[in-house]
Amino acid sequence: MASRHSTIEQTSNNNINLTKKIIDMLKKKIILLLALLSAFSLNLQAQYDETDSTYKRWFVGSTMFVLGNLSPVDPPDFVQLNLGYRLTGKDVISLELITWKYSWPLGLNPFYNNSYGKPEEEFPGYIREFGIAFAYQRYFWKGLYAAMHVMPTLQTFVDEKGKKVDSGFQLFCTNRVGYHFKLFKDSFFIEPSLGVAYRPYQTEMPNGFKQKDDKWPKFTPEPGLHIGFNF
């Protein structure tokens, strides 16, 4: 029995270490990508010219962080689809359909907190969420923008046996500052950003989940890397 427990613990530790390596690799690739985009875009006008009525107003997109589904620890089954419209050359609105699940508190960001993935911080199961985010984006200088995302979400709490134990609701918000890069003659774009995510409202979580969640802040730094297609 002790040998089996040791094997399980070693496997868990190996998976956590692998996840950290994947996160470190993603960080390095993101930094390299930003450097290449910056060099490529120095002379480009990323902001949409309000005097030009021919630019494409609609776009669909997602986020490159769907690659987190490859993680061996707590793969989030993350899906995101964005639909946006450019009201003017500086003002953009969009809807974001999002679903994911997680087994560690949202206050534990895997990019910044080493406690993410540790068994002692894990929920007694997982939380599945479905949300629709409403976003407003404002350009200030060339491709530099600020954005606000407000997302009401429905929650399902699932125990370690896969049984639903409760339902909930939360309001998940994110404020971002980022840069919009046009690609391939404005057919595509990519938007790296830095933001702060926070939860101004959360219904009461069931026992076991609440105790774990209360240990960590209701806000966390959150990097972003959106991609999209204009039409």
76-100 tens-digit pLDDT: 999 999 999 999 999 999 999 999 9
- Quote the pLDDT of residue 8: 46
- Quote the pLDDT of residue 49: 59
- Quote the pLDDT of residue 43: 47
Residue 216: pLDDT band (50, 70, 90) is very high
- Please state the pTM of the whole predicted model: 0.78
Segment 143-186, tens digit of pLDDT: 999 999 999 999 999 999 999 999 999 999 999 999 999 999 89
Residue 65 and residue 225 in contact, taking contact as beta carbons nearer than 8 Å: yes
How many structural domains are present in the chain?
A: 1
Q: Give the domain range for residue 65.
A: 2-230
Average pLDDT, the chain: 85
CATH number of the domain at 160, please: 2.40.160
Per-residue pLDDT at 204 exceeds 70: yes
- Quote the pLDDT of residue 19: 54
